[in-house]
Amino acid sequence: MSKEKETSEEKEARKEAKDSLKNEVKELRTRLISHMQEIRDAKLPIIVLVEGWAAAGKGTLIKELISEIDPRFYNVTSPVITPEKEARYPFLYPYASAIPENGKIMFFDSGWMEDAVRKYLHREITKEIYKDRIRSVNEFERQLRDGGYLVFKIFLDIGKKEQRKRISSLRGNYSSEWRVSDEDMWQHNEYDLFRATYESFMEKTGKEIPWHVMDGTKKRKTVRDTLKLLLKGVEKALEEGRYVGKPFKEEFPLIKMPKLREVDLSPTISEEEYKTELKKLQKRLAELHDIVYRKKIPVILCYEGWDAAGKGGNIRRITKPLDPRGFDVMPIASPIPPELNRQFLWRFWTRLPRSGHIVIFDRTWYGRVMVERLEGFCTEDDWKRAYNEMNEFERQLTDWGAVVLKFWIHIDSDTQLARFTDRQNTPEKQWKLTDEDWRNREKWPQYEEAIDEMIEKTSTENAPWYIIESNDKKYARIRTLKIVIKALEKACEEHLG
């Protein structure tokens, strides 16, 4: 319909429709803002992922959504996609590190979908890796939802013709020309290929957390529909309370492990053999560290164990030969507020090594199914779900190429008592012994049960548990060194670098 032919009534009707839409948006916006304090009080974290075509108006949509919201309640992030060969962290790292804390909204101005699709179409990653990423995305989103996050996924759609028009207009203007990247031009030229891939991506990732395709040519209508969508989700969550996901079964290739009580703790090593072996193994580890660094293999060593089992000394024997520039030890204590207020794996995501580096976790994410389980710091559903969630997390790490090894430093109860007593009686060791250690000791049977279950359910082929016999600490150190060396040798061999 051309403007010349519009009758005055039609004109009137159009204006009326526009005004009514404008008012509707205004009302919806006010309603959303009125919920902000409740969202904070309910500790509801919200993720709004806005994907879509170049020049579809993602930034503008987000601007409209946040308009009038107090900046204390939200953040916007526009992750930069690092070319695959320069990427030093796992695929999901930029997104998993940017999740909001409880009571806040994080708007992603494009995110994991664009990242995966673009790299796939650029052939920076193989079809197989692309499939793994789709799987990871499903895991990531489900974990967030199950952890109480509201996740909204929007795709802003425009046709090829419309995109051409917008790109031309941007490029025709000096002050906006820089906004059109080579990447955008390439997408436009390969519009059909991109459309097919976006659609298939959405189909494969829309089962649990649905996608909402919005019309990028109808700006105001899209703002209204998105506001409606957010409001529906938020109001439901405020009414029903924060969602807690149910545990579920997923098949992982598990290694059959013994129960702790079945482990023979008698092995020892002579002082002489210990010294010789230690020297030899540390020399070898230093060589391997060099190769790992050059081949950019990420290494993640996870230490758990009974109090006084000898974790600290064991870790020091590993770090001794390492180049300090290439490793970090991450002691994991109780979570601080910004950690407590996010999905439980966040504080580990943000502590991952760069590729080529080694990180040693002194205690790990497995606190979820030990202390958090036994002390009631999370719900039963939370810790029961966590076995799968941690297996998925570790698979994402090994997908990335990381070596992930998990050590349970094991002693028996008598040995622990002897060491506690020794610590108590030796002034320079007293700081190592706290009242909490004694309290935990009283719960030995409950812990043993939890640990047995943990090792049974999470010793996967890609990220296995090793129970390290540590009644003789020296034996334990040698054994751990050997396991690390063997795994690194294997990785260095397999890795083309």
| Number of residues located near its own copies, criterion CB under 8 A | 41
Instruction: Report yes or no: 243 and 145 within 8 Å, Cβ to Cβ.
Output: yes
Nearer of residues 104 and 118 to its own copies, judged by Cβ: 104
For 88, phi and psi rounded to 5 degrees?
A: -110, 5
Which one, of 255, 302, 260, lies nearest residue 451 by Cα? 260
Residue given tokens 């890796």 in the structure block = 129
Distance CA(214)–CA(362), nearest Å, equals 46
- Counting contacts by CB under 8 A, is residue 337 touching its own copies? yes
Classify 125 in phi/psi space as left (phi over 0), alpha (psi -120 to 50) or beta.
beta
Among residues 215, 328, 399, 489, the one that binds its own copies under rule CB under 8 A? 328
Least Å from the CB of residue 46 to its own copies:
15
> Tokens for 224?
């209204």
Least Å from the CB of residue 492 to its own copies:
12
Nearer of residues 312 and 401 to its own copies, judged by Cβ: 312
Binding mask 70-89 for its own copies (x = CB under 8 A): xxx--xx-x-----------
- Counting contacts by CB under 8 A, is residue 67 touching its own copies? yes
Please state, in angstroms and as integers, the Cα–Cα distance from residue 191 to each residue in 154, 204, 206, 437, following that order.
19, 20, 22, 62
- Three-class SS of residue 213? strand
Nearer of residues 259 and 432 to its own copies, judged by Cβ: 432
Least Å from the CB of residue 198 to its own copies:
21
Least Å from the CB of residue 360 to its own copies:
7
- Counting contacts by CB under 8 A, is residue 287 touching its own copies? yes
Among residues 82, 138, 217, 319, the one that binds its own copies under rule CB under 8 A? 319
Instruction: Report yes or no: 393 and 147 within 8 Å, Cβ to Cβ.
Output: no
Binding mask 344-373 for its own copies (x = CB under 8 A): ----------------x-x-----------
Instruction: Report yes or no: 137 and 115 within 8 Å, Cβ to Cβ.
Output: no
Distance CA(290)–CA(259), nearest Å, equals 37
Binding mask 170-209 for its own copies (x = CB under 8 A): -----xx-x-------------------------------
Among residues 91, 93, 95, 107, the one that binds its own copies under rule CB under 8 A? 107
Instruction: Report yes or no: 423 and 308 within 8 Å, Cβ to Cβ.
Output: yes
Distance CA(298)–CA(268), nearest Å, equals 32
- Three-class SS of residue 132? helix
Q: CB-based contacts of 343: which residues, under 8 Å, 6+ apart?
A: 99, 143, 144, 147, 149
Least Å from the CB of residue 323 to its own copies:
6
Least Å from the CB of residue 138 to its own copies:
27
**Binding residues for its own copies, per CB under 8 A?**
34, 37, 59, 62-63, 66-68, 70-72, 75-76, 78, 107, 109, 175-176, 178, 287, 290-291, 294, 312, 315-316, 319-320, 323-325, 328-329, 331, 336-338, 360, 362, 428, 431
